[in-house]
Amino acid sequence: MSTTVFLLVLFAAFLHASWNVQVKLNLDRFVGLFLIQTGMGFFGIAMLAYTGMPNNISLVYACVSGLLHTGYNLFLARSYQTGDLSLVYPLARGGAPFLTLLGTFLILHDVPAPLATVGIIVLLVGLLLAGLSGIRRATVDGKTLYFAGGTAAFIAVYTIVDGLGGRVSGDPIAYAGVVFLLDGLLLFLTALYLRGPAILSQVMPHWKKGL
């Protein structure tokens, strides 16, 4: 791995943790996710304007991924409503690599390289240890564990689906643009269904945070 790629991965990890903090700090977790994901939808449009559409066959995977991302967003919002960031984030992100590795092996019969397996195990152990630290500091109930575990499951499944979709897309960046667009659109429609038009007045004062 080149230094540039390594730094990009670290920067992506920083951004991911940052938007999770933004969601947790928002008074309404669902509103926070709504802002971030709809903003991602507009970013997806910009990506597609640059790359064009991916191969048609990959659109099926993108649609499935969009639905899975919607479930992930709903579970993540509930997780942060019931539990602390120090507990939810490590459990959700720590459990996801293990479930992804297991699903890839059982479904795709794809065995990662030994070094990659070691890296996943180290990441898993580190995040789960952080989660145990969160358990010691916070009050844990069954709902928090359920929604954090469900979040991990959604992450694992959409990771596998996106891996397959990216392979057949002809352009993984274009595929990601479609997923971002669908992610934002589906969460927008879900928010209107769950909260009604009032959701728009709730998010307008905070639209800059979403960007």
The pTM assigned to this predicted structure is 0.79
Higher model confidence: residue 88 or residue 52?
52
Q: Give the residue from 86, 62, 88 showing the smallest Cα distance to 75.
A: 88
Question: Which of 13-22, 27-36, 115-124, 164-173 bottoms out in mean pLDDT, i.e. has the lowest?
Answer: 13-22
- Check residue 206 and report its DSSP letter: G
Residue 1 has pLDDT above 60, yes or no: no
- Rounded Cα–Cα distance for residues 30 and 36 (Å): 10
pLDDT tops 70 at residue 97: yes
- Read off the pLDDT of residues 34-78 as tens digits, 9 standing for 90 and up: 888 888 899 999 999 999 999 999 999 999 999 999 999 899 888
Task: Give yes or no for a contact between 91 and 128, defined as CB atoms under 8 angstroms apart.
Answer: yes
Confidence bin at 12 (pLDDT 50/70/90)? low
105 DSSP assignment: H
What's the pLDDT band for 33 if we cut at 50, 70, 90? confident
pLDDT at 57: 93
**% of the chain residues with pLDDT over 90:** 30
Q: How many CB atoms lie within 10 A of CB 170?
A: 15
Contact 177, 67 (CB under 8 A): no
Express each pLDDT in 162-209 by its tens digit: 989 999 999 999 999 999 999 999 998 998 888 888 777 777 766 666
**Region 12-20 average pLDDT:** 56
Q: Is the pLDDT of residue 120 over 60?
A: yes
